[in-house]
Amino acid sequence: MVEAASHTASLAPVSRARAAVLLPLPLVGAYDYAVPEGLARGCLVRAPLGKRELLGVVWGKADGGVSQEKLREAVPVEGARLPLALCDFVDWVARYTLNASGAVLAQALRVEGAFAPEMYRRALILGSTPAGKLTKARERVLAMMADGLARMPAEIAELAGVGAGVAKGLVESGALRWVDLPEFVSPAEPDPSFDAVTLGADQLRAAEHLREAVKKREFSVALLDGVTGSGKTEAYFEAVAECIAQGKQALILLPEIALTVQFLDRFAARFGCRPLEWHSDLPMRERKRVYRAVLSGEARVIAGARSALFLPFKKLGLIVVDEEHEQAYKQEEGVIYHARDMAVVRARLENCAIVLASATPSLETYVNAKNGRYDWLRLSKRHGAAEMPDVRLVDMRNEHGEPGTYLSPPLREALSRTLAEREQALLFLNRRGYAPLTLCQKCGRKETCINCSAWMVEHRYRKKLVCHHCAYETAIPKTCAQCGEENSFIPCGPGVERVEEEFRAAFPNARVAVASSDTFLGPAQAQAVIRALSAGDIDVVIGTQIVAKGHHFPQLTLAGIVDADLGGGAGDPRSAERSFQLLYQVAGRSGRGEKPGQVLIQTRNPEDPVMQALAANSRDAFLEEQISERERNRAPPFGRLAALILAGEDGVRVRETGRALALAAPRARGVVVWGPAPAFYQVLRGRTRERLLVQADKNVDIQGYLRTWLAEVKIPSNVRLTIDIDPISFF
């Protein structure tokens, strides 16, 4: 939320007009205010609301809903205006996701002070040459300042290792003097011709196509569909180069921005500097700097997480959605939207080109490419000398090792060969912690969370049981709360920590690291592991999906998938697709350099179509099969889905509301409403959850249907309704 700053431009008398002003708040539409004549859509104003003053945006013509006596004045923020295409985008997203426009506007105005006038910082530089003898401390400071850079007093004290008084004394003697520095440093300008790389024939063809698309300056969508290691990034970098050359701005969306040091370095190698970053971990000052540079057009390339879609680009010429199939693009809280889909909408409103890149395109995108709605650029070979890895299924029904072990004899053999060759290996298990379930051996009690209907997961490093949904944690109980038996709890099943334990016992001399989800490790540590792997300081990395994607390790020649049967989800039409994507990406980490790669997939269902497709490297055949299945079931993209999730602390009330909602559902041709049914996790963070699912034919206006329906039902104040259009999570 942006509170308006207190400085207000002095107002000469101007003729007033009414305008609708949108405030960045949920549950309100645009309000009428008195504004100076001629203030256009997009102009920022400070608008009073109750006793507060908020930053708002002139949204359009007044609707006359406020009487003349109650009409309050909104004051323009000098020179501040959101681009029209962004305003249109906010309206579009609001209509599509059934959110208030104000709630969506809040996504675009989340930077405090972004529109305040620039401040200046006072800093010190070298002044006149001092006369007489200097103390050692003063000497040190002046020697350091001889480089001509301006520094803050605190910075001087720290860097020169002197007390705070030293700089002050030097100012008094005239040896240092004050200067004003602009608050923000201008971003470095990427150079499109800094280091053009040599592209393979496939890459060159794709790059040429993308360059042309950018040059046309009109809306177009291209799927850049390339096997892992085929050099998609280098190909779309050419489109970015063209965009810069055209004087426009480019936005590159990445699924997990905090883990993309490798990406930023590759960008710098190609363009001479890193792009500006945008994600939730940025410090507020940096957010402010980037936001202003995007608005002024100074920022040429932004690499960002999904929220970068709401930045106020002045002249957007290209959007790239890297790893477009990634689930991380779905925003699951607040305004629920899919950043890939909304990126296509934004490109259309900006009338610019968009590139969706992936080795495992989502079925939706694949179908659009097949139907010719998207241009389809294929890179079917790995770049340079690298070949696709050899994939082998290990049938864990008869090739397993000792009970309680999770690395089969064939996988152990492959690991020792890899270590003997001084190559690297990746062991993948999409499960954090030590064991997913803690069970009483005597009575069978399973430790569950007190807030959620979910198992507590043992984290052995931290000697805790942790809930992965609400982060509740507790010590591992000594006695069973049900039968009173002592020390009766045993861990069931593996997590990455348990695989590490087994690996260390089998290969005590290998250098191993665990890379698990950011929640428990932190992005900085995850990056350290990735760096160490690149530098060859680690032989084996054991990780969750953090290590599955995007990274390029030339010495990594073995990928072992510890349990390929995880994944799946109740009632989730995308579970097979998702499993395939994830496992294919993991497999794709292997053999990207000159040495051939190998992949071992441990499964108890080797007949499963996902496993068969992985073993045969037959992605398209698998997708075709998925397409016919979805078509049969009228699942997306051959039908439409919307989920309604009710949640609240009063379980009875939640269930009642669910039933009332279902009863009120209008009958309409081509629409089926399922539920209410308890959600997969019936209780999360202490809230009972019920779900309804709307399934509609492709041509049905599902938003219109939902609007009509929800207008008929009153949702009690202690029950929260969340609407998820095009859901991808079914929990």
Which of 587, 648, 647 is CA-nearest to residue 615?
587
Question: DSSP letter at 131?
Answer: P
Q: Is position 451 an interface residue for Zn ion (rule: CB under 5 A)? A: yes
Q: Which is nearer to Zn ion, 204 or 470 (CB)?
A: 470
Given 54, 206, 452, 706, the residue binding Zn ion (CB under 5 A) = 452
CA distance 426 to 183: 45
Q: What is the smallest separation between the CB atom of 468 and Zn ion, expressed in angstroms?
A: 8
Closest residue by Cα to residue 570 from 659, 680, 721: 680
Count of residues that bind Zn ion according to CB under 5 A = 14
Q: Is 470 in the site for Zn ion (CB under 5 A)?
A: yes
One of 21, 142, 176, 467 touching Zn ion (CB under 5 A):
467
**3-class DSSP state of 249:** strand
Give the pair of three-digit tokens for residue 466.
């942790």
CB 587 within 8 A of CB 389: yes
Stretch of 16-24, 407-415, 469-477, 528-536 contacting Zn ion, by CB under 5 A: 469-477
Lookup result for tokens 């991380």: 328
C-beta separation of 77 from 55 below 8 A = yes
Nearer to Zn ion, 97 or 488 (CB): 488
Q: Is residue 483 part of the contact set for Zn ion (CB under 5 A)? A: yes
Contact 101, 343 (CB under 8 A): no
* 569 exposure class (CB count in 10 Å sphere: 0-12, 13-18, 19+): middle
Q: Which is nearer to Zn ion, 297 or 651 (CB)?
A: 651
To the nearest whole angstrom, how small is the minimum distance from the Cβ of residue 37 to Zn ion?
56
Smallest separation (angstroms) from Zn ion to the CB of 458: 14
CA distance 713 to 644: 13
Structure tokens at 338: 């899919």
**Residue 448 burial (CB count, 10 A):** 16
Q: Which of 442, 464, 504, 634 binds Zn ion (CB under 5 A)?
A: 442
Give the per-residue contact string, 390-429, with Zn ion (x = CB under 5 A; - = no).
----------------------------------------
For the bound state, the minimum distance from the C-beta of residue 439 to Zn ion, rounded and expressed in Å, comes to 9
Span interacting with Zn ion, options 30-38, 409-417, 478-486, 665-673, rule CB under 5 A? 478-486
**Among 92, 184, 219, 472, contact with Zn ion (rule: CB under 5 A):** 472
Tell the smallest beta-carbon distance from residue 644 to Zn ion (Å).
Answer: 23
Q: Least Å distance between CB 717 and Zn ion? A: 24
Cα separation, 347 vs 220, in Å, equals: 8
* Under rule CB under 5 A, residue 443 binds Zn ion: yes
440 near Zn ion (CB under 5 A): yes
Specify the stretch interacting with Zn ion by CB under 5 A; choose among 54-62, 411-419, 472-480, 603-611. 472-480
Quote the least distance from Cβ 334 to Zn ion, whole Å: 20
Largest CA distance in the chain: 94
Is 449 an interacting residue with respect to Zn ion (CB under 5 A)? yes
Task: Single out the residue of 482, 487, 628, 718 in contact with Zn ion (rule: CB under 5 A).
Answer: 482
| Phi, psi of 700, rounded to the nearest 5 degrees | -80, 140
Measured distance CA(361)–CA(347) in Å, rounded: 19
Cα–Cα distances in angstroms (integers) from residue 575 to residues 97, 570, 635, in the given order: 23, 9, 12
Q: Which of 217, 417, 469, 604 binds Zn ion (CB under 5 A)?
A: 469
| Site string (673-712) toward Zn ion, x via CB under 5 A | ----------------------------------------
Please tell me whether residue 492 binds Zn ion under the rule CB under 5 A: no
Out of 445, 459, 552, 640, the residue judged to bind Zn ion by CB under 5 A: 445
The window from 56-64, 68-76, 296-304, 463-471 that contacts Zn ion (CB under 5 A) reads: 463-471
Q: Torsions phi, psi of 696, nearest 5?
A: -135, 155
What are the φ and ψ backbone dihedral angles of 203, each rounded to 5 degrees?
-60, -40
Q: Near Zn ion by CB under 5 A, which window of 322-330, 473-481, 585-593, 666-674?
A: 473-481
DSSP-H helix ranges across 146-260: 153-160, 164-172, 201-216, 232-245
Contact 579, 537 (CB under 8 A): no
The candidate with the shortest Cα–Cα distance to 526, out of 534, 518, 535, is 518
Site residues (vs Zn ion, CB under 5 A):
440, 442-443, 445, 449, 451-452, 467, 469-470, 472, 480, 482-483
